Chain A
Amino acid sequence: MALFPITGRFVGDFVPHLVAVDTGDTMDEVAEKVAAHTVGHRIPRPARPGGYDVLLRDRLIPPATTLADVMAETEVLPLQWFDVRFRRPEAADA
């Protein structure tokens, strides 16, 4: 596995960040790394943490999927934009 730079935007924040993730990271791990720069800094922590969703090109990626899995399926270039948001109940069931 290898370090990989992404553009990570936490939905609701005003800037995306340069985030170093690992190609072996699951989407849950990617989400934590992106959210760490926003949640509790400019966006309040939720009263009851419920995890995060990760989206690529508006498509929700299952939380257990690794970045390497995503890269095998679609083109992901260095600094690719990923969205992360608080998990929505319907998304958790997806």
Chain B
Amino acid sequence: MLLNRDDWYETSRDLDWTLSYADPEVAFPARWSGVGDVPADAWLAWDEPFRVSYRDYVRIQREKESGVKAVSSALLRAGTYEKLDPAHVAASHLHMGTTCMVEHMAVTMQSRFCRFAPSPRWRNLGVFGMLDETRHTQLDMRFSHDLLKHDQRFDWAQKAFHTNEWGVLAVKNFFDDVMLNADCVEAALATSLTVEHGFTNIQFVALAADAMAAGDINWSNLLSSIQTDEARHAQQGFPTLQVLVEHAPERAQKALDVAFWRSTRLFQTLTGPAMDYYTPLDQRKMSFKEFMLEWIVNHHERILEDYGLKKPWYWDQFLHSLENGHHAMHLGTWYWRPTLFWKPNAGVSKDERAWLNEKYPTWEENWGVLWDEIIRNVNDGHVEESLPQTLPSLCNLTQLPLGSAMSRHDLAPHQLVHKGRLYSFDSEISQWCFEQDPERYAGHQSFVDRFIGGQILPPDLGGALGYMGLTPEVMGDDVYQYAWAKDYTAPVA
């Protein structure tokens, strides 16, 4: 008689043995497991709610794959991609270029859980996580490959992380830190709990809804399918937090506070512009801030409360950043558009501007006045005045421009000297993150550091574009060729 799953599940996932021929520290180095001062038997309490067996996993994943493939094939035949709004399409270029290889990096992180996590249950779940991330990489690659014939920018799904494009360097720097450089405990708190259980809701739920509204059913379907996996393997964060809170609460607090801020800055870059500027106005579901408040802020507050932790010391600054950070990133990426591999939409026609002012009461004073000068130059026929001649200064933690965390009225120097080198930060919060573990971040060279260090030749903007791997066929430009600016020309009498 076949046993029911419940008859063997506990035994299966608890499979472990006491090492007698090998030193446990050699087999499970603390450098990789991240156990720190947490006693070994504390990990016996590590538990997860997803009671999944390999047999179940394969059956369910196969069904998901069949569904995604069927929708994708039908839509490709129907030629739906050609009918999409070009501003929306840019959001998919941005997503594929900055996310596909992150999924692949996550395979390595999950494989570290499989091998080095301090609990057999966690190692068991890590196997499914590893398979999930392999699937996500392949889904992104297939989606992009199918659309290569329409636009070479989809080549950046694979290519981006092999270039030095500055935005990609920022994304890569973050995930190098929280996935590849992190031990199992850190990675579970920063990636599984903070990024996957929290922030990916923006990318995979909010953006999926916007994509569906924009008629991009293929991409929306892909994002939603990926999210079903994220919701499962992200569960590795909670039991890890539970153990850490009981045995090293200060470490848990600091790890979450650093990860939450770094994730905020990342998603202000990746998702904020896509939601509030690239998605066509009549197809927007929520503003980026509204979504953040409902899905991320409330969620994070609940977690902190449930586990007896405090809100980060920077909470008020974070809320202020929600009003501003992604607007700064949008203005910056649009202005430095030749440094992108997608075509950004300015998104500041009069109707769009009215929407921005309704959603963000300080938008006009903080951002509108800067756009006014750009609009004036465009309408006067001086588009070259709306293009950069140098690089923005960059943060040595986030790798994003100084000034892109808050509004122009908050812009102030945050600099410190560490071992004779001057480091710059986009906010007091980023400087605090750096100060928690300077050696972790100090060695990295930002794009600006490379520029003044002589790695980028010739040392001008043209040299920088070449160093980034940007070629004319993918280089960013205004997606509507400035048609939106006509809103602001005086009517002809």
Binding site for B on A (CB under 8 A): 5, 7, 9, 12-20, 36-37, 40-44, 77-81
A37 CA to B393 CA in the complex, in Å? 12
**For the complex, is B349 an interface residue (Cβ under 8 Å from A)?**
no
Set of chain B residues within 8 Å of A9, measured between Cβ atoms: 403, 411, 413
Nearest CB in chain A: distance from B229 CB, A: 37
CB–CB A14/B411 < 8 A? yes
Give 4 nearest A-B pairs by CB, closest first.
A81-B413, A14-B408, A15-B403, A77-B422
Cβ A18 vs Cβ B452 within 8 A: yes
Is the Cβ of A14 less than 8 Å from the Cβ of B403?
Answer: yes
Query: Contact mask B185-200 → A, CB, 8 Å, 1/0?
Result: 0000000000000000
A41 touches B373 (CB 8 A): yes
- B404 CB-CB contact with A under 8 Å: yes
The minimal Cβ–Cβ distance linking B423 to chain A, given in whole angstroms, is 9
- Distance A60 CA – B358 CA, assembled complex (angstroms): 39
> 6 additional contacts, CB 8 Å, given A13-B408, A14-B332, A17-B393?
A7-B424, A14-B404, A18-B390, A18-B451, A78-B452, A79-B422
B residues contacting A by CB (< 8 A) are 328, 331-332, 335, 367, 370, 372-374, 376-377, 385-386, 388-393, 401-404, 407-408, 411, 413, 415, 417, 421-422, 424, 448, 451-452
B373 touches A44 (CB 8 A): yes
Does more than half of chain A's interface fall in helix, strand or loop, or is it mixed? loop
Given A7-B424, A14-B403, A16-B403, A79–B385 Cβ distance below 8 Å?
A: no
* 24 A-B pairs (CB sep. < 8 Å): A5-B452, A7-B402, A7-B415, A12-B408, A13-B408, A14-B370, A14-B403, A14-B404, A15-B392, A15-B402, A15-B403, A15-B411, A17-B392, A18-B393, A18-B452, A20-B390, A36-B389, A37-B389, A41-B377, A44-B372, A77-B417, A77-B421, A78-B422, A78-B452
Inter-chain contact B391/A80, CB cutoff 8 Å: no
Shortest distance between the CB of B113 and any CB in chain A (Å): 39
B373 pairs with A42, CB closer than 8 A: yes
- Whether the Cβ atoms of A43 and B373 lie closer than 8 Å is yes
In the complex, the chain B residue whose C-beta lies closest to that of A83 is B413
Chain A residue numbers with a CB within 8 Å of B332 are 14-15
When C-beta atoms are compared, the residue in chain A nearest to B402 turns out to be A16
Q: Are A42 and B370 in contact (CB under 8 A)?
A: yes
B389 touches A79 (CB 8 A): no
Question: Closest Cβ of chain A: how far from B95's Cβ, in Å?
Answer: 24
Contact A13 B401 (CB under 8 A): no
CB pair A16–B393 under 8 Å, yes or no, is yes
* B residues in contact with A40, CB < 8 Å: 373, 377, 385
Which residues of B sit under 8 angstroms from A37, Cβ to Cβ?
A: 388-390
Q: Are A79 and B403 in contact (CB under 8 A)?
A: no
A13: chain B residues within 8 A (beta carbon): 370, 403, 408, 411
CB of A83 to closest CB in B, whole Å: 8
* Assembled-state Cα–Cα distance A13/B335 (Å): 13
**Min CB distance, A67 to chain B, in Å?**
16
**Which B residues touch A79, using CB under 8 A?**
393, 415, 422, 424, 448, 452
Smallest Cβ-Cβ distance to A79: which chain B residue: B422
Q: Give A53 to B262 CA distance when docked, in angstroms.
A: 35
**Complex interface: chain A residues within 8 A of B424 (CB):** 7, 79, 81
Asked whether, in the complex, the Cβ of B408 is within 8 Å of the Cβ of A18, the reply is no
| Residues of chain A within 8 A of B377, CB atoms compared | 40-41
Chain B: CB-nearest residue to A36: B389
Closest to B366 in A: A14
